[in-house]
Structure formats: C-alpha cells, structure tokens
Amino acid sequence: MQGIAASLSAEDMDNLGIYFSEQKLQLSAATSNGVGSKGEKIFRAGIKDSGVPACASCHGPAGHGVPDLYPRLNAQHSDYILSQLNRFRVLEDQPGTASAPMRAISVRLTEEEMKAVADYIQGLQ
C-alpha cells in the first residue's frame, strides 16, 4: 500500500479520505460458527487437550487486539485469517521472534479447527 500511496498528491489523499469516510461499514458475519460454535469455543477458551490458548487471551474478548502487541482480528475475512494461520504453520521455527507464539499455536490446530475459528472471527464486531 505504501508504494501506491507514495505516488498520490496531497489532494488525492484528502479526496480518498473523504471518500472512505463516507462509506457505510459493511461487517461480515460468521457463516456457521456463531455463538456456541466450535469456533467460539476455540476463540474464547482455546483447546486444553492440544495446548492451544484462547485467541481472546491475547487479541481481546472482542478481537480488538492490543496496539503494538497483538493485531486486531475482529471482522477480518475468514479466508485471510485462515491463510495467516497456515502461513504461521509453515514458518521455520524462530524462537524469540514476533511470529513464534502464533507458529506454536497454529501447528497444534487441525485444518477444521482453523476454519472454525477463522469463521467465528469474521463475525466478531
């Protein structure tokens, strides 16, 4: 995005700001993992038997994240969350890096569990 924004004039940036500020927010919803679902259980409580902590323990109960520590998850598209979880899963083990905790978590999740929690996150507001 930075490469695209660098070529914009100040007027272009102002116009884009006005355009986006006037857009109606369109949040997604979970397709099959709403309240009481497997996705919600993973997000809120983790998976004790697999050693998976609750997503909410770092990203907050509504997925709003903690600036500069843990990113916002709420309302992210499930395909994006799923791709990120799979990306963490295949990273080389690099202890002490910012991605290390998510790598350790993602390798303990099944594909079905990742899809369920990604769908649930999509519906968080």
**Could you confirm whether domain 28-122 is CATH 1.20.120.430?**
no
Assign 30 a pLDDT band (cuts: 50, 70, 90): confident
pLDDT at 67: 86
- Give the chain's mean pLDDT: 89
pLDDT tens-digit readout, 38-63: 999 999 999 999 999 999 999 999 99
pLDDT at 42: 97
In the chain, where the domains are located = 28-122
Q: First-to-last CA distance in the chain?
A: 25
pLDDT tens-digit readout, 76-109: 999 999 999 999 998 877 777 778 899 999 999 9
